[in-house]
Chain A
Amino acid sequence: AQTVTQSQPEMSVQEAETVTLSCTYDTSENNYYLFWYKQPPSRQMILVIRQEAYKQQNATENRFSVNFQKAAKSFSLKISDSQLGDTAMYFCAFQGGKLIFGQGTELSVKP
């Protein structure tokens, strides 16, 4: 069975600095997708970034980028130039069929 682990329950960062959120997963599949979702205080789940496992190039969306290490089954999210609006719960998710979520990392951006 696939599992997703986020080992950092809480993190904080100063505004304008860079922060990295960790995620590891376990699977025997070769073709799958990985996601980072953001859940702000409104609790709406918002897609941040998506990575296809067959692509070696790391996905990037503006200030958000990932470090995808397929052999190590690691999928970290880097947020550059952190903004107050980035304060949220961040979920890593694995999809090889069903979408499986990690427990989440609560990120606080401090002014």
Chain B
Amino acid sequence: DGGITQSPKYLFRKEGQNVTLSCEQNLNHDAMYWYRQDPGQGLRLIYYSQIVNDFQKGDIAEGYSVSREKKESFPLTVTSAQKNPTAFYLCASSMGVGTDTQYFGPGTRLTVL
């Protein structure tokens, strides 16, 4: 079964802690993305990666970091520098960057206590 998985579904963090959100895909897609969704808003791009060992900042990269050591995996770390991290985080992938259709994972809800 091909698709995108994200874990955990719900994540709670204390202020000052770093947390890592997992995103894995078995679609053999080259490009992967992280988006943030706040209530009543559309999605905003945090980071994207076109290929292994390469990634680019999106519109709201401050306070976040990523790595792309394997084609299948694109974890997102929410650092303590992110001032308002409580949000819904969506991972997506596509064949390439540009005009290829993006497919999304089920998301992770992060709450800072």
B45 to A, closest residue via Cβ: A98
A-B contact count (CB 8 A): 48
Given A32-B99, A33-B99, A99-B102, A43 and B42 touching (CB < 8 A)? no
Contacts of A101 in B (CB 8 A): 42-43
Q: Is the interface of B mostly helix, strand, loop or mixed?
A: loop
Given A43-B88, A97-B98, A103 and B40 touching (CB < 8 A)? yes
Contacts of A50 in B (CB 8 A): 101
**Which bracket fits the contact residues of B?**
20 to 34
Any B CB within 8 A of the CB of A27: no
Complex Cα distance A98/B103, Å? 14
Complex Cα distance A50/B101, Å? 8
Would you mind naming 30 contact pairs between A and B with Cβ atoms under 8 Å apart? Answer: A4-B42, A32-B99, A33-B99, A33-B101, A35-B101, A42-B106, A43-B88, A43-B106, A43-B109, A44-B105, A44-B107, A45-B92, A46-B104, A47-B101, A47-B103, A50-B101, A91-B43, A96-B99, A97-B97, A97-B98, A97-B99, A98-B45, A98-B58, A99-B33, A99-B45, A101-B43, A103-B40, A103-B41, A103-B42, A104-B41
Contacts of B88 in A (CB 8 A): 43
B104 to A, closest residue via Cβ: A45
Complex Cα distance A61/B42, Å? 23
Residues of A within 8 A of B (CB-CB), count: 23
Q: Interface residues, chain A, CB within 8 Å of chain B?
A: 4, 31-33, 35, 37, 42-47, 50, 91, 95-99, 101-104
Complex Cα distance A50/B100, Å? 10
